[in-house]
Amino acid sequence: MVGNIIENNIVTISGKIVSEAVFSHEVYGEGFYCFTLEVPRLSDSYDRINVTVSERLISKQDLEIGKFIEVEGQFRSYNNYNNPEGSKLILTVFAREISFLEDDKKIKNPNQIFLNGFICKKPIYRTTPFGREITDILLAVNRPYNKSDYIPCICWGRNARYSAGLDVGQNIKIWGRIQSREYQKKLDTGETITKVAFEVSVSKMEVCTKEDMGENQEEIQEIQEIQEVQDVQEEGGN
């Protein structure tokens, strides 16, 4: 069962380390560090993706700025309750394997992700000022010990039109890449700051069959119940 859950969330990213590894947290005596990996796009720009790694997997001293690495792992989420602006969803690649590359010429297929999860909020369809169609999806992906990761995904074009009609609780598989996106946020003080959002840009999508969904009926029911509670809360706040 654990193996199947791990296969629901598979990430491979390659790029250059652009920040020092800093201590993140400790679990049962095991320390974890975070650093930023600059992952190339086909358009000659980059995505800057957060990576979390155990001190037992690799020494912090080996994670030098400027080194090229390949990371295999999972895309995970957790809430940062120490954020002064309130609870914030943090997204990071949790490294299971790290390999060192000689240089950027050794990087092939630098950004790949596969997720198998459940739609946990009603998809939001919209269009850009230039008329491009987009649908935002929040995907709940199970992992061991009854935990789930909540991953924002963005669909384009025909995938956007199709996914806009999907229901909360539906089980889907997606393939794509992790992207970072800067945006401006205006504070109560009137000051404007630049922040970074992370999401999965979907290139391929597959809706699981009824037989597949039947095997996961408990998860579907739980997600639908959560959505019903959220809907009631939102209606009460209006």
145-159 residue pLDDT tens: 889 999 999 999 999
Q: What would the mean pLDDT of 51-66 be, rounded to a whole number?
A: 96
pLDDT for the residue numbered 5: 53
And the tokens for 102?
A: 């000689």
And the tokens for 162?
A: 């199709």
Cα separation, 24 vs 2, in Å, equals: 25
Q: What would the mean pLDDT of 214-223 be, rounded to a whole number?
A: 51
Per-residue pLDDT tens over the stretch 63-81: 999 999 999 999 999 887 6
What is 113-233's CATH topology? OB fold (Dihydrolipoamide Acetyltransferase, E2P) (2.40.50)
Cα separation, 116 vs 132, in Å, equals: 26
- Do the two domains 2-110 and 113-233 of this chain adopt the same fold? yes
Q: Is the pLDDT of residue 85 over 80?
A: no
Q: What would the mean pLDDT of 136-147 be, rounded to a whole number?
A: 93
Per-residue pLDDT tens over the stretch 20-45: 999 999 999 999 999 999 999 988 89
Q: What residues are paired with 207 via a beta bridge?
A: 172
pLDDT for the residue numbered 15: 95
Strands 147-156, 192-207: parallel, antiparallel or unpaired by DSSP?
A: parallel
Domain ranges of the chain: 2-110, 113-233
- DSSP 8-state code for residue 46: E
Confidence category of residue 228, pLDDT binned at 50, 70, 90? very low
Q: Higher-confidence residue: 138 or 7?
A: 138
Cα separation, 206 vs 189, in Å, equals: 45
The gap from C-alpha 169 to its chain's centroid, in whole angstroms, comes to 18
Cα separation, 127 vs 142, in Å, equals: 30
Q: Which of 13, 11, 7, 205 is nearest to 109 (CA)?
A: 13
Give the right CATH number for 2-110 from 3.40.50.620, 3.60.60.10, 2.40.50.140, 3.90.700.10: 2.40.50.140
210, burial (CB in 10 Å: exposed 0-12, middle 13-18, buried 19+):
exposed
Q: What residues are paired with 74 via a beta bridge?
A: 94
Q: Which of 224, 237, 223, 198 is nearest to 77 (CA)?
A: 198
